Amino acid sequence: MFKIENTLENIIKNETPECVLFSGGIDSSAILYESKKYNDNVKGITVGIKENNSEDIRYSSLVSSKLDIDLLVYEVDKEYVLSKVDDAVCLLESFNPEWISSTITLLLGAEYASKAGYKKIGSGEGADDIFGSFPFFKAYEGSRKELNYIMKSRFEKIPVMTDIVSEANNAKGITPFRNKEMVECVERIPLYIRMQETANIKTKFPLRMSYMGIIPHEAIVRPQTMAFTGSGVYSIIKELEKDVSDREFARACEEFFPFKNKLEYVLFKKYVHYYNYSRATNNYCIHCGSSMGNNLVNCPCCQTVQYKKRELKFNA
């Protein structure tokens, strides 16, 4: 109906992953399914936290079993997750809590893949961007023309976490949903259809409908879950807040800028240990005040999405 399935298959046929960072959601399930056609030994790799009942492990185990694909589960403990926070800040050059949490999740998966000898690591990164499924896109109240501009501008400038963590582990990241052929395919679908909702489908309607009856139903109807929540990583690094007193936090908000929460402040302290921070006088971020450079809507430091000096809030 939307030619998404054919496009994804063609992309993966030309460059097939040896493993896929797998959450059991629609994006990674579709990539794993198509990869199986051209690499019968493709593996799914799922990251979970030992102390938590990881939602990603439950879904990925179910979906991979129905697809008859081997699943490798990488369970790590809380202390190991916390040991990766500085690495993620350095690699991403950012202090955004959601981005850092997602990067840690992908970094752990890439680390496990590399140790297992895999050099081509696939992921579903990019699907949320082109289908407009992030909360700040779903809640946008302006025109579709403006939203389309915001989505495209952001997509062109944001870092690709899969590439970054794969390279850090001497491997290559493969992100089919960021492939030019896929982007052009999806952009031909009107935005209102890309973001259409039904009783059971709230995000990525064309992608889910394209694989209806092909991949397990559990992946088709699984609600939108971010990489940092499904793995359990975010809840772990949020514990870093407990070391920040209310007085220290209030003082930091006055000295630098009003932090969104204590976790952002903790990550900012790590960021300034490795990188310079300064407030810009022109073309500055409305949240952290740093230079936006040639980014039009997405701050490269704090990853705040903004348009016409108004923030598009992630949890809107």
pLDDT at 1 over 80: no
Task: Give the number of other CB atoms < 10 A from CB of residue 148.
Answer: 15
Task: Tell me what pLDDT residue 164 has.
Answer: 98
Task: Tell me what pLDDT residue 92 has.
Answer: 97
pLDDT at 314 over 80: no
The string of pLDDT tens digits covering residues 61-81 is 999 999 999 999 999 999 999
How large is the average pLDDT for residues 21-37? 96
For each of the domains in the chain, give its residue range(s) and CATH number, in order of start.
4-235 (3.40.50.620), 244-312 (no CATH)
**SS3 sequence, 136-173?**
HHHCCCCCHHHHHHHHHHHHHHCCCHHHHHHHHCCCEE
The string of pLDDT tens digits covering residues 139-182 is 999 999 999 999 999 999 999 999 999 999 999 999 999 999 99
Helix %, strand %, coil % of the chain (to 5): 50, 10, 40
Task: Tell me what pLDDT residue 316 has.
Answer: 45
Task: Tell me what pLDDT residue 166 has.
Answer: 98
How large is the average pLDDT for residues 47-66? 86
75 and 56 in contact (C-beta within 8 Å)? no
pTM of the model: 0.94
Task: Tell me what pLDDT residue 215 has.
Answer: 95
Averaged confidence pLDDT in the chain: 94
Share of the chain above pLDDT 90, in %: 89
Amino acid identity at 252: A
The string of pLDDT tens digits covering residues 230-241 is 888 999 999 999
Task: Tell me what pLDDT residue 140 has.
Answer: 94
99 or 230, which is more confident?
Answer: 99
Amino acid identity at 256: F
pLDDT at 102 over 50: yes
- Confidence band of 227 (pLDDT split at 50, 70, 90): confident
Which residue blocks in 158-261 are alpha helix, DSSP H? 161-168, 180-187, 191-194, 205-210, 217-221, 227-230, 233-237, 246-255
How large is the average pLDDT for residues 243-262? 97
How large is the average pLDDT for residues 108-133? 97
Task: Tell me what pLDDT residue 295 has.
Answer: 87
How large is the average pLDDT for residues 115-136? 96
Task: Tell me what pLDDT residue 32 has.
Answer: 97
How large is the average pLDDT for residues 221-237? 85
- Confidence band of 294 (pLDDT split at 50, 70, 90): confident
Q: CA 204 to CA 210: how far, in whole Å?
A: 10
How large is the average pLDDT for residues 78-94? 97
